[in-house]
Amino acid sequence: MRKVNLNEIAENERKSPKGKYHKFIKDISIALGREKNSLDLGKRHPFDLALVRIPKGKSYCPYHGHGAETELYLVVSGRGKVRDHHGTTEVGAGDAFLFAPGEAHQLSANEDEDFVYYVIADNPRGDTCYYPDSGKWVVIKEGSEEAIAKGTETDYYDGEE
């Protein structure tokens, strides 16, 4: 059995250059031995578990949808806003919600308190992300590198014949 205590896991901070996106993450799966760059499912684990804290008034990341990944959320404390194709929904402690592949979403903390939740995500190889607001795509290369591209929609055969 592998065991860790959340109090012993470092809280990693990520912040965008202008500060709109700001988060603190405790990567529980990595603390339990997940090898992020491994292609071996025994080493990369079939799912990821993280404890996330978004500071008040900030967002986790831009509005996006995954091509292959499913994410399950469980709110621990604070209140937040979850944006999806229906609009924005308020969530709080005890709420659980799920996003399947292709369902764009964005999580943000309310202005007056930090927003804390667990996220469990399956761990598909070859996942992609689409950012509807900016028209960008992220393609994960083998391992953990990613390529970010922005372009315009075109015909499937454009440049092929």
Please give the Cα distance from 26 to 13 (Å, whole number). 9
Helix (H) or strand (E) holding 53: strand 47-54
Q: Which amino acid is at 122?
A: D
Residue 143 has a pLDDT of 58
CA-CA distances (angstroms) from residue 62 to 29, 131, 133, 159? Answer: 24, 7, 8, 31
Residue 161 has a pLDDT of 53
Long-range contacts of 80-83 (CB under 8 A, 24+ apart): 80/54, 80/107, 80/108, 80/109, 80/110, 80/115, 80/117, 81/107, 81/108, 81/109, 81/110, 82/106, 82/107, 82/108, 83/107, 83/108
Residue 144 has a pLDDT of 62
What are the chain's domains?
A: 6-125 (2.60.120.10)
Please give the Cα distance from 148 to 154 (Å, whole number). 18
Helices (H), 8-90: 28-31, 41-44
- 3-class secondary-structure state, position 14: strand
Residue 126 has a pLDDT of 76
Helices (H), 26-111: 28-31, 41-44
Residue 154 has a pLDDT of 65
Q: Strands 128-131 and 65-66, how do they pair?
A: antiparallel
Residue 91 has a pLDDT of 98
Instruction: Report angle CA 124, 125, 129 to the nearest 5 degrees.
Output: 80
Q: What is the pLDDT along the chain (161 residues), one digit of tens a residue?
A: 989 999 999 999 999 989 999 999 999 999 999 887 777 777 888 889 999 999 999 999 999 999 999 999 999 999 999 999 999 999 999 999 999 999 999 999 999 999 999 999 997 877 888 989 888 888 866 656 677 777 776 665 666 65
